Structure 1
Amino acid sequence: MTELLWGSRPQPRRGPKPALTLEGIATAAIAVADTEGLAAISMQRVAGELGYTKMSLYRYVPGKAELVAVMTDLAIGEPPQLDQDADWAGQLAQWAERLFVGFGAHPWLLETTAGPRLVGPNELGWLERALAPLGDTALSAAERLDAVTVITGHVRTIAQQSLAAGPQQRPEEQLTSAMTQVLAEHGERYPAVLAALGAVDPAEQNQAMAFGLRCILSGLRQLMAERAVGNG
């Protein structure tokens, strides 16, 4: 797995020149996953997309698990270029927005990037890009990692909700629609929910991504300010 992700796998010296490449195989697999989901991925299916036999692929990748790992790092892409003139909060906001776009483009990444696993150079580069702006802040090393984890978790949650809502309806609109009939009959039992949904300004709907990120960054800024006062 390490050799595949980090490009140190030795190339075969004998036989005909390879007709396929690992990147080409992963690119074809990404196209399948984007349109049909991760469950559609198999060595047989990807080989068929490329016009080769399944056995042909094993020369480049040992199996599906390794292929998915390569797909993941390739689909994540190179880490975003952030505005170096922005402060740490502005750079992290940009980073989070780019991550959200990436999950939207490849929804299956929500599954393949969850849990402990060997990460590739692109994914590690994203972490590097997020941690760099926090390097000169008052946060400890553990807190910097935790801050990125919290931001990633927020982005992941909103992306999952958006995916569940579908392309034609945004999460908060779907929630309101689903509750309208129930609240019409049982609203007296849930006065706070009824009051909140009844007073929502449509212009302020579907702002959970920006609102949550603003709260996280404001909390981090407050913590840094408190530490500055304590150390002053």
Structure 2
Amino acid sequence: MVELPPVVARMWGREHSSRRGPKPRLDLATITAAAIEIADTEGLAGLSMSSVAAQVGVAPMALYRYVGSKDELLTVMSDSAVPAPPERGELPWRDYLAVWTRANRDLLLSRPWLLSLQGLTPPMGPRRLYWLERLLDVLGDTALDDGEKFNVATALTGYALTDATLVHATKAAGQELAAAGVKGATDYGEVLAEVLDPATYPVLSAMMRSGLLKESEGWTEDADFLFGLNLLLDGIEALMARRAGRSE
């Protein structure tokens, strides 16, 4: 039997606990909730073992009885901050995958600090793995094999993460451009049209000079998100059709 890493054992309630000594004042759930509250209000920059200890009213060293390090605490936080996955109800597989991916992306938009944690480790906690379980179950009756189902989950998770990261980066870049006097997509396109050398950037330069970004005024992140999501879902559907044809 494999020996579980301490942080994984803690998340699953599998850590051996001694009955000796006084009853602990704290538990991992209380510490994690305090850490998440700090991250929600101050970001990860405001998170430290000292700040969490102050939040729960103990000395910093007292936390190490429950969590071995700040990195372990971040791992637990990245799981505990995740709500339950969407219910499927009567949705067909494609509609549910769209709902599932959107919910994944919206979670990352609501808690930006998760962006820097989601890619550090594969899901090992009960909440993140339940999202994976729910998606794999929806694909259960399709013609995809187990490896393909797992890869679908990986692709959609990665897309949600990438899109949320892009949205945050775009908003930050928009603020910087506004501070520099560039307001809106039209102004941005005109700046690019001015600096791009058609000899080196023939395609991009032509697009900017044609006023492509003028048509992007009023652009919404949701429309962009749906465009990419439908490309992925179309590809998954095409793969299912090929697999079904092969089995027949």
TM range (shorter): 0.7 to 0.9
C-alpha spacing 1:49/1:12, structure 2 compared with 1 (3 Å): same
Residue 77 of structure 1 corresponds to: 83
C-alpha spacing 1:178/1:198, structure 2 compared with 1 (3 Å): closer
Q: Does 1:30 align with 2:36?
A: yes
Compute the TM-score of the two structures, normalised by the length of structure 1.
0.86
Q: Does 1:209 align with 2:218?
A: no
- The answer to whether the Cα contact below 8 Å between 2:185 and 2:214 also exists between their aligned partners in 1 is no
Residue 20 of structure 1: which of 16, 23, 26 is its match?
26
Residue 54 of structure 2 corresponds to: 48
Q: Give the C-alpha shift of residue 108 in structure 1.
A: 1.9
Residue 106 of structure 1: which of 101, 111, 116 is its match?
111
Compute the TM-score of the two structures, normalised by the length of structure 2.
0.81
- The answer to whether the Cα contact below 8 Å between 2:85 and 2:131 also exists between their aligned partners in 1 is yes
- 2:16 partner SS: coil
Residue 92 of structure 1: which of 84, 97, 106 is its match?
97
Q: Distance in 2 between matches of 1:229 and 1:175?
A: 48
Coordinate RMSD, CA, aligned: 2.7
After the TM superposition, which residues 169-188 of structure 1 pair with which residues of structure 2 at under 5 Å, given as runs?
Answer: 176=185, 179-186=188-195
Residue 236 of structure 2: which of 210, 216, 220 is its match?
220
Q: Give the C-alpha shift of residue 145 in structure 1.
A: 1.2
Q: Give the C-alpha shift of residue 16 in structure 1.
A: 3.1
Q: Give the C-alpha shift of residue 124 in structure 1.
A: 0.8
Q: Give the C-alpha shift of residue 146 in structure 1.
A: 1.2
Q: Distance in 1 between matches of 2:85 and 2:220?
A: 30
Q: How many matched pairs?
A: 229
- 2:148 partner SS: helix
- The answer to whether the Cα contact below 8 Å between 1:154 and 1:209 also exists between their aligned partners in 2 is no
Q: Distance in 1 between matches of 2:136 and 2:77?
A: 24
- The answer to whether the Cα contact below 8 Å between 1:88 and 1:134 also exists between their aligned partners in 2 is yes
C-alpha spacing 1:88/1:46, structure 2 compared with 1 (3 Å): same
Residue 66 of structure 2 corresponds to: 60
Residue 12 of structure 2 corresponds to: 6
User: In percent, how many aligned pairs have the same letter?
Assistant: 37
C-alpha spacing 1:58/1:178, structure 2 compared with 1 (3 Å): farther
Q: Give the C-alpha shift of residue 127 in structure 1.
A: 0.7
Alignment-mate amino acid for residue 55 of structure 1: M
- The answer to whether the Cα contact below 8 Å between 1:43 and 1:54 also exists between their aligned partners in 2 is yes
- 1:76 partner SS: coil
